[in-house]
Chain A
Amino acid sequence: AQTVTQSQPEMSVQEAETVTLSCTYDTSENNYYLFWYKQPPSRQMILVIRQEAYKQQNATENRFSVNFQKAAKSFSLKISDSQLGDTAMYFCAFMRDTGTASKLTFGTGTRLQVTL
């Protein structure tokens, strides 16, 4: 079974600053995907970024980037130039690569507050 651990229940960052959210996972699989999802207050969960385990290059999406360390089973999210709209709950998630759709295993989440 896979487990995902987010050790920071809450974080705060000032607008325009950079923040890093931590995530570690445990699996015996070699092929898998990792995700960061964002859930703004009272709004729908949306995908922020995705990383394929077979890719060594870290994924980036505009101000969002990851630091994927496969050997250490670590997958952190860096948000640059934080904006008030980044205030949300962030979930790290794991999915086995089965060749078809598979279930997600989520961490417990990190609540990020962006302040002025």
Chain B
Amino acid sequence: DVKVTQSSRYLVKRTGEKVFLECVQDMDHENMFWYRQDPGLGLRLIYFSYDVKMKEKGDIPEGYSVSREKKERFSLILESASTNQTSMYLCASSFFNEQFFGPGTRLTVL
């Protein structure tokens, strides 16, 4: 079975802090994605990566950056966390047209 893991289930940070969310997949998938999930808005794509060191902006990239130095790991970075970035963050990896999701990180920015 494909396994996608995320470094934390719950995270509390203060405004202005630099935040790293880590995602690791064990199926040698080339494509990885970061979404944020908010009530009433569904999931929205922040960034995705189709290869090591490659990245593309999704629908809501502002305030975020990403890093993919190794195929199995895709990091989401909040350079200076703000309260409006309080949300659930979901990572996914994919082979062709099926995406496999991690358990999510619920981030609270105070």
Contacts and interface: CB of A to CB of B under 8 A. Distances in A.
Interface string A36-47: 010000011111
18 contacts: A43-B103, A44-B101, A44-B103, A46-B101, A47-B98, A50-B97, A91-B42, A95-B97, A100-B96, A101-B30, A101-B95, A101-B97, A103-B33, A104-B43, A105-B45, A106-B42, A108-B41, A109-B42
A102 to B, nearest CB: 7
Interface extent on A, as a size class? Answer: 20 to 34
Interface in B25-59: 30-31, 33, 35, 40-45, 48, 50, 58
Contacts, number: 49
Nearest to B104: A44
Interface extent on B, as a size class? Answer: 20 to 34
Given A103-B58, A108-B40, A97 B97 contact: yes
A24 B31 CA distance: 27
Q: Which 7 pairs between the two chains have the least Cβ-Cβ distance?
A: A45-B101, A101-B31, A106-B42, A108-B42, A106-B43, A101-B94, A44-B103
Interface of A: 4, 6, 9, 33, 37, 43-47, 50, 91, 95, 97, 100-109
Q: Is the interface of A mostly helix, strand, loop or mixed?
A: loop
A100 B33 contact: no
Interface in B81-110: 90, 94-99, 101-104
A101 B50 contact: yes
Given A44-B102, A45-B90, A100-B50, A107 B42 contact: yes
